[in-house]
Amino acid sequence: MSFQNPVFIPGPTNIPERLRKACDMPTIDHRSPLFGEILHPARAGVRRILKSDSAEVFIFPATGTGGWETALSNTLSPGDKVLAARNGMFSHRWIDMCQRHGLEVEIVETPWGAGIPADRYAEILSADTGHEIKAVLATHNETATGVRSDIGAVRRAMDAAGHPALLFVDGVSSIGSMDFRFDDWGVDVAVTGSQKGFMLPAGLAITGFSARAMEATRTARLPRTFFDVHDMAKGYANSAYPYTPAVGLMNGLNEACGMLLAEGLENVFARHHRIAEGVRAAVAAWGLELCATSPEVYSDTVSAIRTPDGFDATRIVTHAAETYGVAFGVGLGEVAGKVFRIGHLGSLTDVMTLSGIATAEMCMKDLGLEITLGSGVAAAQDYYRGHPALLHKDAA
C-alpha cells in the first residue's frame, strides 16, 4: 500500500490535513475547564449535523459497534422484543448483538441489495396490538451492499400503526455524508462513528438520544457501565467524562463539525451524490451492475459492484493493493467474493475519485475481465463536467 494514494474503502476514510493537525495536540488536563471548550462545541456541532434541535449527544471512546450497544443497553431490558430487517452484514451484526444481550428479535429477512421493507414493518407493527415490540432497528446505509433505506418511510409505518416502539437508526456510513433528519424522522437513537463522514480516525462512538429514549433509560434493566449515558451526562455537567476521554479525537470532531457546517450540509450531501453518480456512470460503462437493486436504494457513500459469475471479486481488491497501492473494499457475508466495493465518502473530490475509477479499470483489465480501459473514467468525466459542484459562499 502507499500512503500517497487516497483510500477507497467505505471507512475509515481519508483524513484531511486540517483534521490530522487538530487531533495532534499536546496533553491537557481532561478535568480542567479547557476540555469543556472542546467537549461542548463538539456536541453542539454533532447535534446540528443530525439536524436536531434537542437530541442529547453522547460521545464514547469506541466505534459504531459501541454506539449500537449504547442504544440497546440504555433503553431496553432482558427479554424485550425488537424488530429488525437483515439485509446486509451490518444489520446482521446488530441483530447478533441484540441476541447476545438476551433480547428477542423478530427478523425480517430481506435480500442483500434491497432496502428495509417499510411495508412489512407496517404489517408487523399493526399486528402487535399488545405493543410487545419495544424498539425498531433500521440500518440507514448498509455498507456491505451499498444500499440506502428510507428511514422516513419506516417512521411513517410506525406512526400509521400507532405503535410506541423506539426507533434506533444506524447512521454509521451516512451521517455527515448523506441527508439525515433526526427530528423530522422521529429518530430516538442515532448511531455513528468518527471514521467515516466525520473524516477522523476510528475511536469515537457518536450517539444522539431523543427525549423518549432518555425517558426509557430510567426503566431499562440491561447491564451497562462503560456505556451508561447517565454517568456520561453527569460528567458533561462538569465539562468532563466519567473516565478518560480521547481528547485529541474530540478536538478533531469539533473541527470536523466546523468543516462540514462551513461547507454547508446541503452542499456536503450534493457533493457525495455527485461523486457517487460518477462512480455509477463508470460501473454502467464497464457493463457491470451494482449490488443495490434499484436507483431508489443506491447509496451515495459506497458502491458494491458485482463481478461476472465465476469471477472472485476479492482478486480485484488484492491486486489493487499489491500492484497499485490502492485500497478498495472486499465483499462481506453473503456477497463475499461476488462484489468489490468503492467507498466514496468523507474527504473526497472528483479528481480523487477518477484515480480510483482508473485503478479499478486497470485491475479488472489485468485480471482478464472484458473492460475497455478509459471507459469508466470517460463516463465519470462526462458526468462531472456536466454537473459542476456547488460551493457554499463560506466554504473553506
Return the CATH number at 149. Answer: 3.40.640.10
Interval 60-71: pLDDT, tens: 999 999 999 999
Are 58 and 182 in a shared domain? yes
Mean pLDDT value across the chain: 97
Is residue 35 in some structural domain? yes
Q: Residue 394: its pLDDT value, please?
A: 44
The residue written with cell numbers 457533493 in the block is 271
Gyration radius of the chain's alpha carbons: 21
Mean pLDDT of the region 274-289? 98
Is residue 394 in some structural domain? no
Is residue 277 in some structural domain? yes
Are 243 and 221 in a shared domain? yes
Are 219 and 281 in a shared domain? no
User: Residue 391 pLDDT more than 60?
Assistant: no
Where does a domain end: 262, 291, 323?
262
User: Residue 288 pLDDT more than 60?
Assistant: yes
369: its cell numbers: 475481465
Closest CA to 301 of 139, 164, 63, 166: 139
Are 111 and 144 in a shared domain? yes
Are 160 and 52 in a shared domain? yes
Q: How many distinct structural domains can be found in the chain?
A: 2
Interval 71-112: pLDDT, tens: 999 999 999 999 999 999 999 999 999 999 999 999 999 999
Are 243 and 277 in a shared domain? no
Mean pLDDT of the region 19-27? 97
Please indicate, yes or no, whether the overall pTM of this predicted structure exceeds 0.85. Answer: yes
Return the CATH number at 343. Answer: 3.90.1150.10
Are 40 and 155 in a shared domain? yes
Closest CA to 81 of 162, 135, 161, 155: 135
Is residue 9 in some structural domain? no
The range of the structural domain enclosing residue 310 comes to: 264-386
159: its cell numbers: 406512526
Where does a domain end: 216, 245, 262?
262
Is residue 208 in some structural domain? yes
Is residue 213 in some structural domain? yes
Are 257 and 284 in a shared domain? no
Cβ atoms of residues 222 and 78 within 8 Å: yes
Interval 117-127: pLDDT, tens: 999 999 999 99
Are 127 and 57 in a shared domain? yes
Are 297 and 219 in a shared domain? no
User: Residue 231 pLDDT more than 90?
Assistant: yes
Where does a domain end: 262, 282, 307?
262
Are 135 and 250 in a shared domain? yes
Are 158 and 206 in a shared domain? yes
